[in-house]
Structure 1
Amino acid sequence: MTGRLLAIDTATTACSVALFDDNILIASEYEEIGRGHAEKLIPMIAALPGKGRSDRIIVNCGPGSFTGVRIGVSAAKALGLAWGVRVDGYQCLSLVAAQARQILDQQVPICVAMAAGHGEFFVQNFDGPGLAIDALASLSPAASRDHAKSNIIAGSAARALAEGLANGEFHEILPNAAKSYLLLQEMKQLKSKPIYGRQPDAKPTVAV
């Protein structure tokens, strides 16, 4: 699909946006801010050429921060409605795996580990070409080490996981919207709804 594409990524402590024209990156913004994505995101989009106006929008649907994921998806859908354009999603760990392969400059199996809260990691294994070979899981550090199918670990929790592996190699990476072009096309066509990866901390009260 050609034309202008706006990518939005607020699923982690990083906040980033990128504008592509016929798959060529023309402008981007990236900051590691921790919190405050709601205040930062719209000004970042407005600073892009044409205020980020595009023919299609893609957004990081998670997993990651519950708040960050909701902010990104909500903003993408609001802009999509205002501009009358399609909004698709991509999965956080898939992008981190793609960024790691670019850094390594070779197609090798990679295990992605992202901080998931409550001392757990979001973990998923990817093959050399970048396809997931198992389902996303939220696991304890010990279970994550058993789950890893590669000693090359990428992501925000990469150091913590790799240190428990024999010959573990880590690459601390946060997703960056400007790198979304690295994803295979089908990976950028997910439904634009949050991927939380685990159950919410707060559960609704059931009347008795």
Structure 2
Amino acid sequence: MLILAIDTSAIASAALLRSTRTDGAAEVLASFASTETNTHAEVLAPAIQGLLTEAGVAGTGLDRIVAGVGPGPFTGLRVGIATARTLGFAWNVPVDGAMSLDAIAWDVLAAGEVPAEGFTVAIDARRRELYWARYGADGSLAEGPRVSVPGSLPAGPVYGAGAGLYADRLAQSGAAAVERFRDRQPTAASLGAAALRQLARGGQLLGTTPLYLRESDAKVPAAMQGHTP
């Protein structure tokens, strides 16, 4: 199976992955990840074109596109999901979704240091809050995704850039940031690998409805509410 994975829940990233094994083990053919959190619209499409060229793959030759559906901010998620839907339509390729936090959970599993009691993944949700989810020792989702203040996360190890931002406040609930993962953001390469493993196990991926978890900051002005042009 050949897939294009896209994630814009934090940074903009894309990856081409191929799996030919029954256990879903994936080979990353080409990948891109930005270092910024506010340039998604500018860098994503050229990056995807570059990946296809690098790997010598045509979009119509893909078996599937997998888009990270968050949780994440409105603008960032919309860029990635809209890109995935548009490319899927243009290339006649099915498009599925995957929770973006699964990408970091995959990184934890790949590092071979999964705590027996499970672990939490967290990224920045702004407003002094975190997007987070809890995983079992086998990487299966146990709770979430949720958005809350850092001091309310479950006790135990926390992986991801959100933990690095609020390491001191996590201690209020007995949680602790894992040093090696204090700057880790979801990436498309890891998201795609997690999705391929899920499919190989007979699991289902998500739809492409974004996981915003809270309302948009954008509001219709009171003077325009109820106004019909």
User: What TM-score do the two structures reach when normalised by structure 2?
Assistant: 0.79
Which residue pairs with 2:74 in the alignment?
66
Match of 2:142 in 1: 133
CA distance in structure 2 between the partners assigned to 1:30 and 1:38 by the alignment: 13
Partner of 1:182: 194
| CA distance in 2: counterparts of 1:52 and 1:99, whole angstroms | 28
Verify: 1:196 aligned to 2:221, yes or no: no
Residue number in structure 2 paired with 1:7: 5
DSSP 3-state at the match of 1:168? strand
Change in 2 beyond 3 A, CA 1:94/1:190: same
Alpha-carbon contact 2:155-2:176 (below 8 Å) kept: no
Mapping of 1:161-180 within 5 angstroms? 161-164=166-169, 165=171, 166=174, 168-170=176-178, 171-172=181-182, 173-180=184-191
Q: How far, CA to CA, are the matches of 1:16 and 1:167 in structure 2?
A: 29
| Contact 1:11-1:92 within 8 A present in 2 as well | yes
Partner of 2:163: 158
Aligned length: 201
Q: Deviations over 1:23-53 (max 9, x none)?
A: 4221111221221111100111111124662
C-alpha contact (below 8 Å) 2:4/2:14 kept by paired residues: yes
- Structure 2 residue ranges without an equivalent (≥5): 20-25
- Contact preservation (8 Å) 2:17, 2:28: yes
Instruction: Output the amino acid matched with 2:226.
Output: A
**Identical counterparts, % of pairs:** 30
Compute the TM-score of the two structures, normalised by the length of structure 1. Answer: 0.86
Question: What SS does structure 2 have at the residue aligned with 1:46?
Answer: helix
Whole-Å Cα distance in 1 between the matches of residues 175 and 28 of structure 2? 36
Moved more, 176-185 or 108-117: 176-185
Equivalent position of 2:28 in the other structure: 25
Q: Give the ranges of 4+ consecutive aligned residues of structure 1 lying more than 6 Å apart after TM superposition.
A: none
Distance 1:98 1:188 in 2: 17
